[in-house]
Structure 1
Amino acid sequence: MKNNTFSLLAIAVSAAFSSAACADINNIVISDSIEDPSHNKAIAISAIKSVSVTPCRDAAGISHKRIGEIQGSSYRSPLIADGKYISDAEYLVTGVVSAVTTELEKGFYLFDDDGITTTSNGIFVETDKPLDTTLIGQEICVRGFIAEDYGMTKVVATDGLWEVVNANAGKPAAIDLVKIPEDGNSFQATLERHEGMLVRLPADIVPEQKDDQTMRISRTFSFDYSGYRNNLVLAFERPNFQPNQHYVAGSKEAKQQAEDNNDRRLYVETDSKAANGVIPYYPDFGIDPQNNPLRINDAIVGLEGVLSYSYNNFRLITQNTITAENIIKHQPRQPIPTVNDKTEHHSFDIRVATLNVLNYFNSPFGGDANPQQSNRGADSQAEFERQQAKIVAAIHGLDADILGLMEIENNGYGSAGAISSLVNNVNLKYNREDSGDHAKDDHIDNRYAFIGIDANGDTVIDKLDTFGGDAITSGMLYRPARVSLEKVKQVLMPSQQAPVVADKNGDAVVDTKGKVRENGKNYQRDMLAASFIINNTGKRLTIGVNHLKSKGSTCWEDWQGWETWENFDPATGKVKDPDFQGSCENFRVAAADEIGKQMEKLGGDRVIVGDLNSYAHEDALLVLTDNPTAKTLKAARDTFIGEQPQFGAEGGVISRSYGYINAVEMMSKGKPYAGYSYSYNDEIGALDHILVSPSLKDRVLDATDWHINAAESTLFDYNQEHKGDNVDLLYSADAYRSSDHDPAILALAYRYNQVGEVPLQMLLDGSRLSVPYTLPATAQAGDIATIAISPTPENIAQITLPKVELQQSGAQTIMFDVNGLKAGKYTFTLSLTGSTTSKAVADNATQQLEVNVKHRDGVKADDDITPQNNNAGGTLGILGLLSLLGLSLFRRKH
């Protein structure tokens, strides 16, 4: 491994030499000069055609080494003694300049091909003298010490000087970055063999293998806070997955994944800091960014740069430009998610989705006040309008029938609340009212209602009701044309009331500003649980929307043992994270256990959705799904559900899992890069989940993440800062980078007229009712389908009972449009007759349905709602659609 314990920054190498052994800078013949902003003259040495700088010819007795001899075949130069980071002797080295860097690092790169493939033929020369690119292509000689500077092998030029040997040698051609057998399984070994060289990223890094061996984008072009500059990160063969996405947290497999990620990583840098909103080496992006995005899992070929090493990572400092032809799209943008929701004629699909809307706040822009006096979202009206347009586009594209929302402002359920504002703007997408194809995405039947809670108990749901005590909350939208709300429950999640983390004197540990690092008081957001009846069935479906504690801020457990951590400064240091779960995993375990218990009480078919802030095989997910390795799962100490203690001062060991099935993971098998919803640094994984109860497994048609956010650069978001002159060019009112989390979506199959936990339910559209009739394979074209109703409605004379002539033979489903029927409980008798239909066929086709005919949910969005108590211990409230027109039954158009 690279040695990271020593820097040459404080070494004044030139002080080690006598003036007799060095060129006298005052004797240089100056052929050009430059002026800095303070008008001081500076010598432009690299532009000199004939000078008296001769550090090599004046270096009698100093050994000359080729670059390969200096680099050697390992991670350290063989010319540096063990335990040291700079050579004991000076050396001479000659090569042709392949690149000059003046900002990211100060110096130039030499190339000398010795024909040996196991050692690098390039090396970086550090100098403090003025440089420009005219030095490229000149053969020069340098005298200096060899150093390992935080793992980067370099030559530190004595007095910063060099000697031109051949001013017209010509720029070296870039060498393809390829693996050889001697590299073994280590990509770092491949990079080390090319350290200091000008390389090109080829289309196939392992020539003897036929599969794709490219460098993939693992973190899109964005601001790197560790380096405080814009860059992107590549990984060999595939994006880097977060270690706990595929493996149990803390397992040897997860640790191996982390090591593998480190091995495959390559930063792509520019010497000068990239201007805001610009990718310097990809001009096509600046011309048309919307059609030339760089996304996670894209491969880049043909990009050239010199290989440097700093801060524990290899870095490709780019030296050419590329076009869209150099980008291989492995996961191109999808305007809508690819969901296999096709069903047989007798069935239809219901879509359930989860979407983190990344702090959608409308209170500063005409919305109701935030009770916490907080705004975590847009900074201006212009930004808010851009944010809203993107979120609306994402919701419209998802086409979900039930949608869980996270990070929406918690400013009540009034007409000026954030959730009402969002629903109203989404519903503007659906404005067609004709009686044609109701499955088309612009029909009013696709409009949404949202769920409200009477939080203050005043029997009215309005702007004074909030869900939980945070500035943000979770919410739920649904389509009354597809499902009917039965009951709602606010499920309290644990809070932690542990002791403050203190030092040996009993004083609270504080940061440099005197703020307590961990006070032991931590909170989760409550779960919103709602039970629906699937229209045209008697089946109940319960959805729980969650947003668990984040990984970023600590909990009490994260600080345990800090007194023994080597070199740990409690005022500024980061707590340890040996299993890559981030902070508060024990607190999330406590929440997961409570979710499992409360959803179990609700019973039936259940789906848990939301931003669980846990990757697929972290402890909280093991509680909710299964725990195949029997890992000990520990819940946090001093947690409470309301005022009721959950586990006590010792915490708790969770001995059971609740058996939910990770639907996206199940449907992503064989699709290695499909299941992720979040990108952090250069690792991807799923924080947003759809977990289905085992009773739903056979109903799952498909489940997937829609990669509109995590794979995209932050340059495409609604924010207007840090984008330079391209702020408008980078923005589009589409779904891409509408949030930082990808939405996930699930398609479930239901049969028409399927009985279930409640009577079969059909919904009136005004006075019109659509009744499905599923016919057997023996049905013939020309047969007549009829419907009869009992008991006979009082207004039977005003009711239209249609007869439908079959237009085709075989199994099929037709719809009766019954007009004039009032809400109530009826028996429908559906029959088939015709000249070609035998009595046996007719008898087989006859169906009797016990049906509860109801009106759709929903009222105008600006009305206050009087809720009803429900049996689940919560309150029921519906805030509704702008319009309630449209049929209650349709199949999604494919």
Structure 2
Amino acid sequence: MSRSIPRVARATSLLAAGALAAGTLGAVAAAPASAVPADHLVINEAYLNGGSAGATYLNKFVELYNPTSSPIEVDGWTVQYRSYSSTTAFTGKIALTGTIPAGAHYLVSGNANSTNGAALPTPDAPSTIAFSGNANGGTLALTKTADTLTGDGATVVANPNVVDLLGYGVSNTSETAPVASGYSVTASVNRTDGTDTNNNSADFTSAAPTPTACGEACVPTPNPVEERTIAEIQGTGAASPYDGDTVITQGVVTAAYPTGGFNGFYLQTAGSGGAGDATPGTSDGIFVFGSAAVAKVAVGDHVELTGVVSEFGGMTEITPAAADVVVLDEPAEAVKATELALPLGDAAREALEGMLVTPKGPFTVTNNYTTNTFAELGLAVGDSPLYVPTEVAAPGAASQAVDAENATKRITLDDGSSTNYTAGGKNTPQPWIDADTTIRVGASATFVKDVVLDYRNSAWKLQPTAQLTADDANDVLPATFAGAERPQSAPEVGGDFTLAAFNVLNYFITTGEEYEATTGISCEYFVDRDGVPTTVDECVGQAGPRGAASTVQLERQEKKIVAAINALGADVVSLEEIENSVKFGKDRDAALAALTEALNEAAGAGTWAYAPSPDASALPPVAEQDFIRTAFIYKPAVVAPVGASTVLVGDPAFADAREPLAQAFQPVAGTEDDRFVAIVNHFKSKRSGTPDPDQGAGNVERVAQAHALVAFADTVKAAAGTDKVYLTGDLNSYSKEDPITVLRDAGYVDLEETYETAETYQFDGEIGSLDHVFASPAAAPDITGMGVWSINAMEPIAYEYSRYNNNATLFYDETAFRSSDHDPALVGIALEEQLTPTTVSAVATPGISPLFGPIIAAQVKPRATGTVQVLKGDTVLASQKLVLGVTVVAVPAKALKPGTHQLTVRYTGDATHAASETTVTARVLGR
């Protein structure tokens, strides 16, 4: 029998997890080093690989031991488990009962990975909780409460309800330090002589498993078995008031999952649901767990059962023996589906947990990241995906309000199984998508069948009434999808030439296999369903390549990137996440040259060239450079570089990030007036650095980088002899975050905001833009348009080269779609001589009292769009947009002293009209 267990999108390597653990353990106080007998119940042994090939025992187990001279009652106690890196709630919880005599052991069983090994002695507390037995490990806690533990390592260790704790592998939660190894299919971790120094690494050793049960000596007085309605069992809170009790209940089977890993069925009180609710505030549906139990029933059956109530990962369920599930002969009133109308908070959803529901739309796909692995689709109620809070609201109270609202709007549509289609289910075709049918973020979802609302794997989900498979989709499919079709061509942005920004997803010409062969250093890989490496996970020392595992995989990656760039229609492209080849003993531009060559092979010789790196003397020392870098490619028939490229060197803001790279260009058809500087950036990621609750880690560092970028731009534009500057790249900052504000406050025009483009990135079921293009005030009037080509971020990751042959369905092709995880942005730019000359006229009137400043009426001919600014010297006092070529600008009273002032009225230009200005005399009344 298997269980649905918490899902992990990707396995973090041992080395990376070790670093995480090392950074967390310092918060846990060191314990006395002397070995003394424990004066409390202890975790004595943990066997973590039951059922696997070669296993000694079929099931995993945790053995407790009472080293004291007195019996210890454990009614209401629990053994809890969570994964090695989690700082949230423990996900597995096993209720304990009875009294453990002095010197006695107590056996708690877990799940079986497969069918190998001998049966355990009869456990005192049986369960099917899955304790991880891999190198990363996990955390086991013995607690005096049924309440779920939560918090970081120090918080859990300090919890007064925690009697004993075992962290193993590289767990971030342990007593002093985890026991790092020693567990396998034939070995468990064993406490030495019942001692407890509060140091897991010192208190445990490796030995053959010796499970010992307490048996009849610990059997408690059984609780009376009582008949309860499902609503009574569910209760009005998140957990059942009868957790751990044995109950008798009845209902109608609404959904059954004999295959796919759920191994159970949903039972709902006969006649319940629909518009009327006889039990407001509590649910009339519940999950019944057991593969033998579900084999006895079918949807529509009227069933009576007897079983134990428990909470599994926050979901209330009953576990009966097969003999205690009886299909009744008498008919029952049919269950009716209840309307599910989001947004709803957790409490309102809890009242419908396990019930048959009819989701009330509209719904939009907002998350398809786990579609590839677990056949899940994140939905948002409404006509659009959810936005990253700081994409649409300022950090702080405003973004937190968006975050809270998002939580009430999202829900996951599942496939009625715990199948991982890239692991145990890798030879089973995906049920939602195939090589020709994608479901993109932004697609509308329309429900055509009722579903069950459940809570599993820490998320609210909608389950079809049977497992959805590729073969039975027409019979089981609960929803259909439309819209958000793939854009087959890049957006039209106009202009005489174009500039683009593109993150190329760790394009490394140094493959994992080459790195291992030339250095002798071993690497870990992500592999396809045949075990063939696809991409590098990590190399020993964390200093290796980050891209393709092999030449074959590099070719697959390259074909998609080449297809995307050649179809983008750009004349200059700033690149991020391309290999810094000097870190591998090659010419710094080797990867850049290889990509340029591949582009020319597809587009024609001489179509593309690249901007060479500066001389080594003008670069940071190689040891200080990152393994990825930024770069420029361009079409020499359209633009020509002016001078050498420049890297910002020596600024402490970029001590742990990629330094900005600047290059001046001049259009071949233009003049020096059209010369511009492009500066490509890749700011510090959100994964490390100074924590920020709303903007991710590293925000302080990114703010410093934004200020340094502004100063660098002033330097390079002066050297290039132009005020036209474009700042491009992956700034790892969403549109309302502090680093973006720094650039706006410096006068740079946010073209994404001006042209209301699509977002470039998807993360955790929310969309936003990490990739930006800014124009200096002098460059902004030349812009004819900006757009984002949505070929990557809104696509399921199944189509990425890195997921080649992960599933029975081959999703990979050589098109541009999912060539990266970021979408490219494209900007159209006009030559100066192509802009229509304009004249601006203006008249100023004084304020009508000392409380009001002058009012400037302005007109631009020929009729234009854009903005008119009023300046005193170089200071902008006020601005206003034109409407039909005219506008009125009110100057704040406090902006000028009383008296007469000469003011500049400046039209900043638009896509087809050149900038122009005039002067007016304005009078400010005395105060």
Which TM-score applies when normalising by structure 1? 0.58
- CA distance in 2: counterparts of 1:611 and 1:296, whole angstroms: 21
* Contact 1:405–1:475, Cα closer than 8 Å, also in 2: yes
- CA distance in 1: counterparts of 2:831 and 2:334, whole angstroms: 66
Cα offset, 1:281, TM superposition: 11
Partner of 2:369: 220
Letter in 2 for 1:275: Y
Partner of 2:315: 152
- CA distance in 1: counterparts of 2:834 and 2:441, whole angstroms: 44
Partner of 2:500: 353
Cα offset, 1:134, TM superposition: 4.3
* Contact 1:482–1:534, Cα closer than 8 Å, also in 2: yes
Q: Secondary structure at the match of 2:802?
A: coil
- Equivalent runs, 1:815-830 vs 2, <5 Å: none
Letter in 2 for 1:474: T
* Contact 2:253–2:297, Cα closer than 8 Å, also in 1: no
- CA distance in 2: counterparts of 1:523 and 1:38, whole angstroms: 50
Letter in 2 for 1:622: T
Q: Secondary structure at the match of 1:10?
A: strand
Is 1:398 matched with 2:568? yes
Q: Secondary structure at the match of 1:296?
A: coil
- Equivalent runs, 1:381-780 vs 2, <5 Å: 381-411=551-581, 417-431=590-604, 447-456=607-616, 469-492=625-648, 522-538=655-671, 539-552=674-687, 554-555=688-689, 557-558=690-691, 577-579=692-694, 581-601=695-715, 602=717, 604-625=723-744, 657-668=745-756, 675-719=758-802, 723-726=806-809, 729-752=810-833
Letter in 2 for 1:233: G
Runs of at least 5 residues in structure 2 that lack an aligned partner in the other structure: 1-87, 100-113, 120-221, 520-541, 838-861, 863-927
Cα offset, 1:297, TM superposition: 1.9
Cα offset, 1:414, TM superposition: 6.1
* Contact 2:576–2:730, Cα closer than 8 Å, also in 1: yes
* Contact 2:248–2:307, Cα closer than 8 Å, also in 1: yes
Relative distance call for 1:75 and 1:677 in structure 2 (3 A) is: farther
Partner of 1:242: 388
Partner of 2:285: 122
Relative distance call for 1:403 and 1:174 in structure 2 (3 A) is: farther
Q: Secondary structure at the match of 2:406?
A: helix
Relative distance call for 1:685 and 1:718 in structure 2 (3 A) is: same
- CA distance in 2: counterparts of 1:705 and 1:327, whole angstroms: 27
- Equivalent runs, 1:126-275 vs 2, <5 Å: 126-127=289-290, 131-132=294-295, 134-144=297-307, 149-157=312-320, 162-166=324-328, 175=337, 177-179=339-341, 185-186=343-344, 188=346, 191-199=349-357, 201=359, 204-205=360-361, 213-222=362-371, 231-237=376-382, 238-249=384-395, 251-269=396-414, 270-275=416-421
Cα offset, 1:70, TM superposition: 4.5
Cα offset, 1:175, TM superposition: 3.4
Q: Secondary structure at the match of 1:314?
A: strand
* Contact 2:675–2:724, Cα closer than 8 Å, also in 1: yes
- CA distance in 2: counterparts of 1:155 and 1:750, whole angstroms: 72
Letter in 1 for 2:594: S
* Contact 2:257–2:265, Cα closer than 8 Å, also in 1: yes
Q: Secondary structure at the match of 1:216?
A: strand
- CA distance in 1: counterparts of 2:449 and 2:340, whole angstroms: 14
Relative distance call for 1:373 and 1:99 in structure 2 (3 A) is: closer
Cα offset, 1:131, TM superposition: 3.7
Relative distance call for 1:280 and 1:457 in structure 2 (3 A) is: closer
- CA distance in 2: counterparts of 1:156 and 1:13, whole angstroms: 17
Relative distance call for 1:176 and 1:590 in structure 2 (3 A) is: same
- CA distance in 1: counterparts of 2:554 and 2:296, whole angstroms: 45
* Contact 2:624–2:655, Cα closer than 8 Å, also in 1: no
Cα offset, 1:587, TM superposition: 1.2
Q: Secondary structure at the match of 1:273?
A: coil
Letter in 1 for 2:344: S
Cα offset, 1:543, TM superposition: 0.6
Letter in 1 for 2:286: I
| Structure 1 residues 34-55: Cα deviation after superposition (integer angstroms, max 9, x where no partner) | x978899xxxxxxxxxxxxxxx
Cα offset, 1:354, TM superposition: 0.6
Alignment match of 2:441 (pick from 296, 301, 304)? 296
Aligned alpha-carbon RMSD (Å): 4.4
Q: Secondary structure at the match of 2:399?
A: helix
- CA distance in 1: counterparts of 2:336 and 2:611, whole angstroms: 60
Partner of 1:862: none
Relative distance call for 1:388 and 1:7 in structure 2 (3 A) is: closer
Letter in 1 for 2:353: E
- CA distance in 2: counterparts of 1:222 and 1:6, whole angstroms: 25
* Contact 1:665–1:675, Cα closer than 8 Å, also in 2: no
Partner of 2:913: none
| Structure 1 residues 371-416: Cα deviation after superposition (integer angstroms, max 9, x where no partner) | 9973211111211111010000110121111100011112269698
Alignment match of 1:108 (pick from 257, 265, 275)? 265
Cα offset, 1:361, TM superposition: 1.4
- Equivalent runs, 1:23-42 vs 2, <5 Å: none
- Equivalent runs, 1:838-877 vs 2, <5 Å: none
* Contact 1:303–1:322, Cα closer than 8 Å, also in 2: no
- CA distance in 2: counterparts of 1:243 and 1:62, whole angstroms: 49
Letter in 2 for 1:261: N
Cα offset, 1:466, TM superposition: 8.1
- CA distance in 2: counterparts of 1:468 and 1:736, whole angstroms: 34
* Contact 2:254–2:267, Cα closer than 8 Å, also in 1: yes
- Equivalent runs, 1:299-338 vs 2, <5 Å: 299-301=444-446, 302=448, 305-318=451-464, 319=466, 320=468, 322=473, 326-338=479-491
- CA distance in 1: counterparts of 2:646 and 2:518, whole angstroms: 20
Relative distance call for 1:88 and 1:404 in structure 2 (3 A) is: same
* Contact 2:785–2:828, Cα closer than 8 Å, also in 1: yes
Relative distance call for 1:495 and 1:454 in structure 2 (3 A) is: closer
Relative distance call for 1:106 and 1:13 in structure 2 (3 A) is: farther
* Contact 1:137–1:169, Cα closer than 8 Å, also in 2: no
| Structure 1 residues 78-135: Cα deviation after superposition (integer angstroms, max 9, x where no partner) | x73xxxx738784533333522367655532102232534554421134585543744
Cα offset, 1:148, TM superposition: 5.2
Relative distance call for 1:381 and 1:398 in structure 2 (3 A) is: same
* Contact 1:76–1:148, Cα closer than 8 Å, also in 2: no
* Contact 1:699–1:750, Cα closer than 8 Å, also in 2: yes
Partner of 1:96: 253
* Contact 1:623–1:658, Cα closer than 8 Å, also in 2: yes
Which structure's CA Rg is the greater one?
A: 1
Letter in 2 for 1:430: A
- CA distance in 2: counterparts of 1:750 and 1:586, whole angstroms: 38
Partner of 2:147: none
Q: Secondary structure at the match of 1:382?
A: helix
Letter in 1 for 2:702: R
Partner of 2:874: none
* Contact 2:513–2:549, Cα closer than 8 Å, also in 1: no
Runs of at least 5 residues in structure 1 that lack an aligned partner in the other structure: 16-34, 41-58, 206-212, 342-347, 432-443, 498-520, 559-576, 626-656, 669-673, 757-776, 778-894
- CA distance in 2: counterparts of 1:702 and 1:370, whole angstroms: 47
Aligned length: 587
Q: Secondary structure at the match of 1:338?
A: coil
Relative distance call for 1:102 and 1:13 in structure 2 (3 A) is: farther
* Contact 2:683–2:702, Cα closer than 8 Å, also in 1: yes
- CA distance in 1: counterparts of 2:501 and 2:760, whole angstroms: 11
Relative distance call for 1:105 and 1:525 in structure 2 (3 A) is: same
